[in-house]
Amino acid sequence: MPPRCASIPGTLTPFLYPFFLRHGPRVCVSRRCESTSAESLTTSEEEAARLNPPPSDYSRTVFADKATVTLIAGSGGHGCISFLREKYIAAGPANGGDGGSGGNVYIQAVRGETSLHKLARRNILKAGRGKNGQGKTKGGERGDDIVVQVPVGTVVREIDRMDPVFEEEQQRLAEAGQEEAPMSNGPYKWDPQRWLLYPAVTKEDIATADFPTLPRGRKSALAMAEVKGPISLDLSMPMEKPILLAAGALGGLGNPHFVTKTAPRPKFATKGEAGMRITLELELKLLADVGLVGLPNAGKSTLLRSISKSRARVGDWAFTTLQPNIGTVVLDDHRGRPIAHARHETGEVRTNFTIADIPGLIQDAHLDKGLGISFLRHVERARVLAFVIDLSAGDAVTALKALWKEVGEYERMKIQEEKDKQDTIVEWTPFKTVEDAISNRSETIVVSSGPTYDNPLAPQIYSIAEKPWFVVATKADLPGTKENFETLRNYLQLVNEGVEEHPSGQKSFWGKKVAAIPISAINGHGVKRITEWTLNLLDDA
Ligand SMILES: Nc1nc2c(ncn2[C@@H]2O[C@H](COP(=O)(O)OP(=O)(O)OP(=O)(O)O)[C@@H](O)[C@H]2O)c(=O)[nH]1
Ligand SMILES: [Mg+2]
């Protein structure tokens, strides 16, 4: 297929040359260069086809950045009604075991996950039910736990909760307050929801029998460790251990629990409690190391393809990319080993970094124009911003300023929103006791989105203008782009010297040297330099 983009035969534009000669091969992305001539020809042809693919050549990774899931803790197994029977003991004592408790529901943010699509598809996640108790006082087995694994950067909000034990308690209290409340000392009647009966018991037996008081709704001791509702979590760090969202319900009681002097052989046991049901809204704010910010059709996806193995969709029209793509740049030293000097903020050796290619921003994107605001939130969390400017599409400085304006307006809106939230009127209801205060406290667990009183060691997440950034001036292979690049470079020079105002228009901003890197992504020229520059900035971030 003929190339669809005008590119100058014989590779490089002259002004890119000095740039390539300057830097040594400090870092190599995992696609290694072959040296033999025949092989290198086919490799470079393949490479060229990969960087300038037809619009139909892409692989879409299923991706979802929002999901609503209902989590159901396991319900308890039923208690057992059984009696000892041995030789010479025809009617032995009650020996039914208790039901097993249900499985717990945990949540954990892990590095390996990148999308919420699996959860969005499943919708309901249910922990295992406890097994029923058995004869010979054998307790039922515990239900299986589930750990909901989410990508790092997920924000979790509770939207609904149904706790059967709590509801029951509320109902009991309401009934106790009524005039004709049931007598608290019996006689009690059979409640099919709660009691299990021995198979041979007839309807008449049920009608005449007196049942003991129902045990009050019970909770396992583990429930104390649950995250207090309404749940609000910001999981921006990988978690070593999962945290408990809902403890499994307790199993029913076997018939030995109801032995009394008057009824030594009770023919009933209780059913297991029902599991708690929580509906959560999950939102993934991508935590990529680098966020690509650019106008539509600037060449962001081509850049992602050239720097990583991503097969993001590329097309010569605006809004080719409709969903964020994440690419991973693997760093190695040609021997499969990570390069030693690149490290994560935690001190671990960095073996890769991730780049988020988001849909293009247009003027007034912060007012939800174009593909709008939903993708700007991914920019908010990237550690380094790379502004991708198409050198062939008009004045690069104007384009850069327009992008900063959108990003800046978005941030201003966010700050205002946060302020409005804090300004809401809080009604003051004095608590009577300390226990009352503790039980009424709503708890927000923020797993490291900045140092807090509870979590002083958490890394700081900076405002957008305070993030390290640089400019990728792409399509430098096209004719007439050199002057545009030089204007851009001069402008950035003035910004660096403080003569020109920072394009964000903010007072506090990242004050180090901002670079503009000319590249031709479609030919793969100059892209290594981006890897190097990014690593330096990540060290800074
Ligand atoms: N000549 C030349 N063309 C390029 C270069 N990079 C990208 N293109 C072309 O520019 C067009 C747009 O590229 P994309 O990578 O889809 O641009 P994008 O920024 O991802 O676009 P949206 O996803 O719509 O925002 C495609 O036709 C690419 O082949 C380059 O370095 N040189
Ligand atoms: Mg794109």
**16 φ/ψ angles, rounded to the nearest 5 degrees:** -80, -20
Q: Is the CB of 362 inside a 6 Å radius of any atom of ligand 1?
A: no
Q: For residue 409, give the nearest of 290, 508, 504 by alpha carbon.
A: 504
The answer to whether 472 touches 291, Cβ cutoff 8 Å, is no
Q: Is the CB of 520 inside a 6 Å radius of any atom of ligand 1?
A: yes
Token representation of residue 388: 């991708």
Q: Is the CB of 474 inside a 6 Å radius of any atom of ligand 1?
A: yes
Q: Does residue 238 have a pLDDT over 90?
A: no
What pLDDT, in 10s, does the model give residues 385-406? Answer: 999 999 988 888 999 998 888 8
Tally of CA atoms within 13 A in the half-sphere of 33 that contains its CB: 8
| Residue with CA at minimum distance from ligand 1 atom 9 | 299
| Residue with CA at minimum distance from ligand 1 atom 26 | 316
Q: Quick one: pLDDT at residue 315?
A: 78
Q: Tell me yes or no: is domain 14-23+55-62+287-417+449-540 CATH 3.30.70.2740.
A: no
User: CA 289, CA 369: separation in Å to the nearest integer?
Assistant: 26
What pLDDT, in 10s, does the model give residues 257-298? Answer: 888 888 888 888 889 989 999 999 998 876 678 889 998 888
Q: For residue 243, give the nearest of 346, 105, 131 by alpha carbon.
A: 105
**Phi/psi zone of residue 502: left (φ > 0), alpha (ψ -120 to 50 degrees), beta?**
beta
Q: Where are the alpha helices (DSSP H) in 236-387?
A: 300-307, 376-381
Each domain of the chain, given as residue ranges in start order, spans: 14-23+55-62+287-417+449-540, 66-284
Q: Is the CB of 393 inside a 6 Å radius of any atom of ligand 1?
A: no
Q: Given ligand 1 and candidates 56, 295, 302, 519, which is best to mutate, with the most ligand atoms within 8 Å of its CB?
A: 302
CATH superfamily of 66-284: GTP1/OBG domain (2.70.210.12)
Q: Is the CB of 298 inside a 6 Å radius of any atom of ligand 1?
A: yes
Q: Does residue 105 have a pLDDT over 90?
A: yes
pTM of the predicted model, to two decimals? Answer: 0.66
Determine the 3-state secondary structure of 169 from DSSP: helix
Token representation of residue 92: 């032995």
Q: Is the CB of 464 inside a 6 Å radius of any atom of ligand 1?
A: no
Q: Ligand 2: distance of its center to the CA of 52 in Å?
A: 13
Among 15-29, 64-78, 208-222, 299-313, the range with the most confident prediction by mean pLDDT is 64-78
Report strand pairing: 469-474 vs 516-518.
Answer: parallel
Neighbours of 428 (CB within 10 A): 5
What pLDDT, in 10s, does the model give residues 456-498? Answer: 444 455 678 888 999 999 999 888 888 889 999 999 999 888 8
What pLDDT, in 10s, does the model give residues 422-459? Answer: 554 444 445 555 555 555 544 444 444 444 444 444 44
User: CA 397, CA 310: separation in Å to the nearest integer?
Assistant: 29
Q: Quick one: pLDDT at residue 186?
A: 53
Q: Given ligand 1 and candidates 297, 313, 375, 527, which is best to mutate, with the most ligand atoms within 8 Å of its CB?
A: 297
Please calculate the CA angle 281-283-285 and round it to the nearest 5 degrees: 165
Percent of the chain with pLDDT over 70: 74
Determine the 3-state secondary structure of 283 from DSSP: strand
Q: Which amino acid is at 447?
A: V
User: CA 525, CA 321: separation in Å to the nearest integer?
Assistant: 23
The number of the ligand 1 atom at minimal distance from the alpha carbon of 319 is: 24
Q: Quick one: pLDDT at residue 100?
A: 94
Q: Quick one: pLDDT at residue 363?
A: 73
Q: Is 14 exposed, middle or buried (0-12, 13-18, 19+ CB in 10 A)?
A: exposed
User: CA 71, CA 233: separation in Å to the nearest integer?
Assistant: 15
User: CA 340, CA 535: separation in Å to the nearest integer?
Assistant: 12
Q: Quick one: pLDDT at residue 341?
A: 62
The answer to whether 271 touches 190, Cβ cutoff 8 Å, is no
Q: Is the CB of 48 inside a 6 Å radius of any atom of ligand 1?
A: no
Q: Is the CB of 478 inside a 6 Å radius of any atom of ligand 1?
A: yes
pLDDT classification of 139: cutoffs 50, 70, 90? very high
ipTM of the complex: 0.98
Q: Quick one: pLDDT at residue 388?
A: 93
The continuous run of DSSP H or E covering 487 comes out as helix 482-497
Is 14-23+55-62+287-417+449-540's fold the same as 66-284's?
A: no
Q: Does residue 9 have a pLDDT over 60?
A: no
User: CA 31, CA 306: separation in Å to the nearest integer?
Assistant: 10
| Residue with CA at minimum distance from ligand 1 atom 32 | 475
Q: Quick one: pLDDT at residue 268?
A: 85
Please calculate the CA angle 10-16-19 and round it to the nearest 5 degrees: 135
Q: Is the CB of 7 inside a 6 Å radius of any atom of ligand 1?
A: yes
Q: Ligand 2: distance of its center to the CA of 217 in Å?
A: 55
The answer to whether 441 touches 228, Cβ cutoff 8 Å, is yes
pLDDT classification of 344: cutoffs 50, 70, 90? low
pLDDT classification of 31: cutoffs 50, 70, 90? very low
Task: For ligand 2, an ion, list residues with CB under 5 A.
Answer: 301, 320-321
Q: Which amino acid is at 354?
A: T
Q: Quick one: pLDDT at residue 18?
A: 53
| Span of 12-16, 56-60, 319-323, 456-460 with lowest mean pLDDT | 456-460
Determine the 3-state secondary structure of 420 from DSSP: helix
The number of the ligand 1 atom at minimal distance from the alpha carbon of 297 is: 21
Q: Ligand 1: distance of its center to the CA of 51 in Å?
A: 10
The answer to whether 393 touches 447, Cβ cutoff 8 Å, is no
| Span of 28-32, 165-169, 475-479 with lowest mean pLDDT | 28-32
Q: Quick one: pLDDT at residue 6?
A: 43
Q: Is the CB of 318 inside a 6 Å radius of any atom of ligand 1?
A: yes
